[in-house]
Structure 1
Amino acid sequence: MTANMWRSECGCPAFYPGTRYRALQGGRQYLGLYKTESLASFTSEAYRAAFQHQTPWSVASLEKMRDPMRRVCAVEAVTGQGCGSHLCIFVLPSAASEALHARVLQLGAQLAEQPGFVRSSLLTPDAELSSPLPKESRENRRMLPMLLIESSDAEAGLRLSEQAAEALNMPAADAWHYALGWQLTAQELTS
């Protein structure tokens, strides 16, 4: 993959960094996270135009995907800042609520005291904006919130995920673990 190919994914105005991860344990083989200024970015003319006129690379990449999943989410209950080299994801079993938001904030504060913690957040899917990818199954598309925990290394990621699993009353094996592949920021696109 070249930088020009990354641009097609990250070059839309109002989109911040595009980050790609590779699975270490659980989850899909690859994970792409693209951050925006707000959910309104997904209804902008610029996004609509980019979506309707995708590059040949993007179209070919979509065709190669196996078991893809697209979720457009609000990023909430953020603790910490920055981007960790490792990411842990828990798909939470219940719908988003004020109680879940508070629980994730409290958990984030506890995790932030541990070595290797970088950032935690709650991703809440927007069902209307989360249109499926071409090869995504339309059956049982569940819009469940996700807890993301970013850490400075794999060992910290495992430790933090075990602590989070205990606090959430979930099996630690339910966590998906990823390693950072690359990140492209808006500043790099303009330089």
Structure 2
Amino acid sequence: MKLFNKRDAAQDTPEPAPPAKVGGKGRATPKRKEAEARRLHPVVPTDRKAAKAEARARRDEAWRLQDEAMRTGNERYLPPRDKGPVRRYVRDYVDARYSVGELFLPLSIALMIIVFGFSSTGSSGLSLMLLLGLYAVFFLAILDAIVCWWLVRRRLYAKFGVEEVKAQGVLFWYVFSRCFNLRRLRRPSPQVRRRQYPS
């Protein structure tokens, strides 16, 4: 009678086959060095002239699209300062009304020319009156811009809600700068006619 020890028993029993892998990716996992080498690309392009020309072409195209958007009001290519329905509403409202600030720039240039003309002739009283008139127009334009902001803010709160309007930041300076600019020089260009207020 032959006795088997544990080692012989372990050698005689066949080892179970490893379970077949289901749903593999079908390719070997790349080594870390290979993966890193694949991701590497030169920091400096090989053809600098071509890369420079390509970057300039991209920049020129971006400027062209933005300039066109400034004329047409296309929201997609407007700068972040002018994007969004709230700012579009502000622009349309300011462009629909007559602002005293529109007259300030041409009037100030004309009055300054007149003041310098009268100061050379010795009419200091008249030039002082004209200068005071210019200051009066300036303060009236500021008051008009404040009234415009107050009116447009009420409309914005009613249309978009207080939270969305406050999320846009300080819109007063946006209204103020547009009120003091000549209508034809405003950017983005006005998209509404006079008295055509947004709903």
Q: TM-score, normalised by structure 2?
A: 0.23
Higher helix proportion, which one? 2
TM-score, structure 1 length as denominator? 0.23
Larger radius of gyration: 2
More strand by proportion, 1 or 2? 1
